Structure 1
Amino acid sequence: MTENPVTDSTANVDTVTERVEPLARGVWGVVATPFTDAGEIDEQSLARLVQFYESVGAAGLTVLGVFGEAAALTAAERMQVLGVVAQNSRLPIVAGVTSLATAPAIAEIENAQAAVGERLRAVMVQANSGAPGVVTEHLRRIHEATGADIVLQDYPKSSGVSISTDSLIAVVEASPFVSAVKAEAPPTAVAIARITARVDVSVFGGLGGQGLLDELAAGSAGAMTGFSVPEALVSCVTAWLAGDAEAARAELLAYLPLINFEQQPGIALALRKELFRRRGLFATGAVRAPAASFPRELDPIAADHLAELDVQEVR
């Protein structure tokens, strides 16, 4: 008789049943990786960005995520990025893991631990299968090897893996070392409501903040995402967590056209980097292939968005 994969995997979970502390609520800024025109890591721009995130009240930084172009970086460059972030900000760090396979994921995490040390609050691991037993075993092996708390990311557009919300909940229930879920499989508000009703973990939306107000209403702990005006996300989430839903809505509404502009499929990364350049945070808007570059046809539209909001250059 075929054994149940969920039962098999959960039987092997560490005997410690007490769940780790949920990841802090608020806005975790997803850090884009700036490059020079020569294609090297731009350490000065990276330092400016993380210092700015800290100055506007971010709860923490998510480094080497999808929008950090981690898949386009060498192992040495990933450690370089983490080192620059740790040296230029006091905020806790979540390090993204690119690999969907267990052994290389463990190697990535060990490198991150070597680069950041105690500053590493958690690692963000993508769901690597639609089968909850497979994901649970993957996370268990990672945690046993590294001791790291885990943020479980459900982002099928990036990973190519689809997992149902019920299966995701089963994984989290069986994995007490999971401190948060990043829910990026639309409809995100539905998933967030279901997860928070069942498991005591922080659940964050992403996707540039497009669904932020609905996600907060569904019970999210905030946002784990990037946006060229992160202070708007911080103001919105801060107001919401203080119990003022009306103020939260007012803080975000004016920025929704820019959020929508920035999240255009296929060019979202280039748009965000170009907007960071226009704000004075990045020296260039360069991306690495195969990412698409900023379309110059959008020059006047980007300028209009920033002018309409009177977004100031960061100095």
Structure 2
Amino acid sequence: MMLDTSAAGVFVIAPTPFADDGALDLDSAARMTEAFLEAGATGLTLLGIMGEAPKLDAEESLRFAQHVITRVGGRVPVIVGVSAPGFAAMRSLARGAMDAGAAGVMIAPAAGLRGDDAVMAYLRQASQVVGDAPWVLQDYPQLTSVAISAGMVTTLANEDARLVMLKAEDHPGLDKLSAIRAAEAKGARRLAILGGNGGIFLPQEIERGADGIMTGYAVPEMLVRVRELILQGEREAAHDLFDLHLPLIRYELQPGLGLAVRKHALMRRGIIASAALRNPGPKLTPATLAEVEFILARLARRDPTLRL
């Protein structure tokens, strides 16, 4: 199953489960995979920003990706993030992931690139490094400090048929999304567009023309249902459901702390065995844990999807 521009729905970004001692927890990875598929995921993304990819060595990264891809068994496409400081590591992981059955790879520009020419040159080079693999452009300037305009996205799309998806995480980015769709209406090659940013703009992104979302929110069932409701014309119901989840979405979006919160919520749902982050990583204080537990309990009373 190869990724193409028809991709749509909810691609859940999977965290990398660790045991309390920091070892890879592949049993939790298998359980997590099944839980996300049961939640309605139309794809999975591994080794993204929320996958703690920089904390894994090359062998662990490939072993984790192979394990999940095997568990998925072709039921949905699996994207593997291959961004790396050097092209040798990117090439090796991309080749290994595609050989294991990945549907495509995801590339973000290297942090700190300055100027359109430098950004475009890097992305063109990186796309050649991953060979024939379909690829996803991750536009996440809050992390990379790299600006990619709507025009740059459409130029790359027109140049390279292997570029099949944009992970749109500029913030604010809704007008950029609209600009890309407007350019496509005038003849630019169409890309699948999936939003991100923890889901904070999910309803608006779908209404602006996004095909879905790629994020790791701890209750992906909500993401699936909100998108379906909007596509069915049930806008008020979609926004009402989304609004119930905003406190947890907001808490998960805290820079530096969000992944620890998300892993705790996934542990409380029985999806992973431990909320451990591999060091260096933050620990939730008792006060923070109490707040998260209050949010989860309150949400569970209002949305039966969230079973604790």
TM range (shorter): 0.7 to 0.9
In the TM superposition, residue 140 of structure 1 has moved relative to its aligned partner by 4.2
The residue matched to 2:22 in structure 1 has which SS? coil
Indicate conservation of the 8 Å contact 1:71/1:98, yes or no: no
Given the alignment of the two structures, is residue 133 of structure 1 paired with residue 116 of structure 2, yes or no?
no
Query: How do residues 256-271 of structure 1 correspond to structure 2 at under 5 angstroms?
Result: 256-271=246-261
The residue matched to 1:124 in structure 2 has which SS? strand
Structure 1 stretch displaced more, 65-74 or 97-106: 97-106
Residue matched to 2:208 = 218
Residue matched to 1:183 = 168
Given the alignment of the two structures, is residue 297 of structure 1 paired with residue 280 of structure 2, yes or no?
no
Indicate conservation of the 8 Å contact 1:56/1:231, yes or no: yes
The residue matched to 1:223 in structure 2 has which SS? strand
In the TM superposition, residue 54 of structure 1 has moved relative to its aligned partner by 0.5
Indicate conservation of the 8 Å contact 2:62/2:93, yes or no: no
Structure 1 stretch displaced more, 21-30 or 31-40: 21-30
Distance 2:6 2:80 in 1: 13
Query: How do residues 90-101 of structure 1 correspond to structure 2 at under 5 angstroms?
Result: 90-101=75-86
The residue matched to 2:165 in structure 1 has which SS? strand
**TM-score of the two chains, using structure 1 as the length reference:** 0.86
Structure 1 stretch displaced more, 125-134 or 282-291: 125-134
Given the alignment of the two structures, is residue 59 of structure 1 paired with residue 54 of structure 2, yes or no?
no
In the TM superposition, residue 136 of structure 1 has moved relative to its aligned partner by 4.6
Given the alignment of the two structures, is residue 34 of structure 1 paired with residue 17 of structure 2, yes or no?
yes
Deviation sequence 1:52-93 (CA, Å, 0-9, x none): 110011110001101011111011111111122123223210
Structure 1 stretch displaced more, 131-140 or 290-299: 131-140
Q: Which runs of 5+ in 2 are unaligned?
A: 185-189, 301-305
Distance 1:301 1:140 in 2: 43
Q: Percent identity, aligned pairs only?
A: 33
In the TM superposition, residue 162 of structure 1 has moved relative to its aligned partner by 2.6
Indicate conservation of the 8 Å contact 2:149/2:176, yes or no: no
Given the alignment of the two structures, is residue 107 of structure 1 paired with residue 89 of structure 2, yes or no?
no
Distance 1:180 1:238 in 2: 20
Given the alignment of the two structures, is residue 123 of structure 1 paired with residue 105 of structure 2, yes or no?
yes
1:148 counterpart letter in structure 2: A
Distance 2:6 2:13 in 1: 15
Distance 2:127 2:252 in 1: 36
Residue matched to 2:136 = 151
In the TM superposition, residue 141 of structure 1 has moved relative to its aligned partner by 1.4
Work out the number of aligned pairs and report it: 289
Residue matched to 1:246 = 236
Residue matched to 1:8 = none
Residue matched to 1:288 = 278
In the TM superposition, residue 249 of structure 1 has moved relative to its aligned partner by 1.7
Structure 1 stretch displaced more, 103-112 or 65-74: 103-112
Deviation sequence 1:180-217 (CA, Å, 0-9, x none): 00011111212211122224111111111011111112
Which residue among 129, 137, 144 is the counterpart of 1:142? 129
Indicate conservation of the 8 Å contact 2:260/2:284, yes or no: yes
Indicate conservation of the 8 Å contact 2:14/2:45, yes or no: yes
Deviation sequence 1:223-267 (CA, Å, 0-9, x none): 100111111111111222334323322331211111111111110
Given the alignment of the two structures, is residue 233 of structure 1 paired with residue 223 of structure 2, yes or no?
yes
Tell me: CA distance 1:83–1:133, structure 2 relative to 1, closer, same or farther (3 Å). Answer: closer
Indicate conservation of the 8 Å contact 2:142/2:171, yes or no: no
1:69 counterpart letter in structure 2: E
Tell me: CA distance 1:179–1:303, structure 2 relative to 1, closer, same or farther (3 Å). Answer: same
Tell me: CA distance 1:263–1:136, structure 2 relative to 1, closer, same or farther (3 Å). Answer: closer
Given the alignment of the two structures, is residue 170 of structure 1 paired with residue 151 of structure 2, yes or no?
no
Distance 2:42 2:80 in 1: 14
**TM-score of the two chains, using structure 2 as the length reference:** 0.88
Tell me: CA distance 1:302–1:136, structure 2 relative to 1, closer, same or farther (3 Å). Answer: closer
1:222 counterpart letter in structure 2: G
Indicate conservation of the 8 Å contact 1:23/1:180, yes or no: no
Indicate conservation of the 8 Å contact 2:156/2:163, yes or no: no
Deviation sequence 1:248-294 (CA, Å, 0-9, x none): 22331211111111111110111101111111112111112233222
Indicate conservation of the 8 Å contact 1:232/1:251, yes or no: yes
Distance 2:152 2:36 in 1: 34
1:78 counterpart letter in structure 2: S
Structure 1 stretch displaced more, 161-170 or 69-78: 161-170
